[in-house]
Amino acid sequence: MSAALDARVEALNAAFPAMSPLERLQHLRETVPGRIVFTTSLGIEDQMLTHLIFTNALKIEVVTLDTGRLFPETYTLWQETEEKYGRRIKAKYPQADALESLIDDQGINGFYFAPELRKACCGVRKVEPLNRALEGASAWIAGLRRDQSANRESMEFASADHARGLVKANPLFDWTRAEIAAFTARHGVPVNALHGRGFLSIGCAPCTRAIRPGEVERAGRWWWEDETRRECGLHVDDPAAVSDTEEAKAALFERADI
């Protein structure tokens, strides 16, 4: 299984560079059997991928993680996107019991007071629902770009998530934000109104601010924390990512990024 997964990833990394994003999605669908899940945050990269998947009727599930703390503009875009394409974006939610325990423990905005509390919130609201969204999937598509952060420069188009036994693919990995913005404008793809107000990377409302001139794209995420510790746990390569042990969770949050 592991060798086969590695071989599949190697073949994708050889094929992807010469292809357009649509061809990459089609190639992934043709070469990877089973469920393929695309997780969208409804950011501009993800909106481009959603457009390609829906307009070409690709058999790829489009799923979002509704943390319950998203911006009103994000919910508006979610609705607008479903109306435009006539397709449902499936949502995964935090487990009610875990969320109640979290709020009992740290309060409604506890994430501001310590990195551990913030990571606990991301764990309940994002990581656990993500793990459920990917259960049984053969491939996971995300909209990461190489130039979004230093962490992402060394990533590949495709990688093996051995813990989950799936391929993770980023079809827009070598695209720039300007190229994606040009595509969405040209094709009338709906995008989040917040992008036009300085929010280049959009997550939960209490944890995202607009960036200032000269700041990097993701500077507005968890801005109150030490820059090197701003992680939430969705995009990790470490097998510890899906383990429940405290040690594994610590490793997960130390190395994750979104």
**Residue list for the binding site for [4Fe-4S] cluster:** 121-122, 204, 207
Pick left, alpha or beta for residue 155 (phi over 0 → left; psi -120 to 50 → alpha; otherwise beta): beta
Whose Cβ is closer to ligand SF4: residue 110's or residue 165's?
110
Interface with ligand SF4, residue 206, by CB under 6 A: yes
Within its chain, how far is the Cα of 12 from the centroid?
20
If one counts every other C-beta atom within 10 angstroms of the C-beta of residue 257, the result is 19
Interface with ligand SF4, residue 69, by CB under 6 A: yes
Interface with ligand SF4, residue 67, by CB under 6 A: yes
Whose Cβ is closer to ligand SF4: residue 69's or residue 146's?
69
Rounded to whole angstroms, the Cα distance separating 162 from 224 reads 33
| Residue 143 and residue 46 in contact, taking contact as beta carbons nearer than 8 Å | yes
Interface with ligand SF4, residue 122, by CB under 6 A: yes
> Which residue, judged by CB position, is nearest to ligand SF4 in the bound state?
204
Query: Which x/- pattern over 3-42 shows residues binding ligand SF4 (rule: CB under 6 A)?
Result: ----------------------------------------
Q: Which two tokens stand for residue 221?
A: 């995420």
Q: Which stretch binds ligand SF4 (CB under 6 A): 54-62, 71-79, 137-145, 203-211?
A: 203-211
The least distance separating ligand SF4 from the CB of residue 228, rounded to whole angstroms, comes to 17
Whose Cβ is closer to ligand SF4: residue 116's or residue 135's?
116
Within its chain, how far is the Cα of 21 from the centroid?
17
Sheet holding 158-161, edge to edge: 90-92, 61-65, 36-40, 139-141, 166-169, 158-161
Q: Which spans in the chain are helix H?
A: 2-15, 21-31, 44-55, 72-85, 96-106, 115-122, 128-133, 150-153, 177-187, 246-255
Q: Which stretch binds ligand SF4 (CB under 6 A): 44-52, 77-85, 118-126, 163-171?
A: 118-126
- For ligand SF4, the binding residues (CB under 6 A) are 67, 69, 111, 118, 121-122, 125-126, 203-204, 206-207, 232
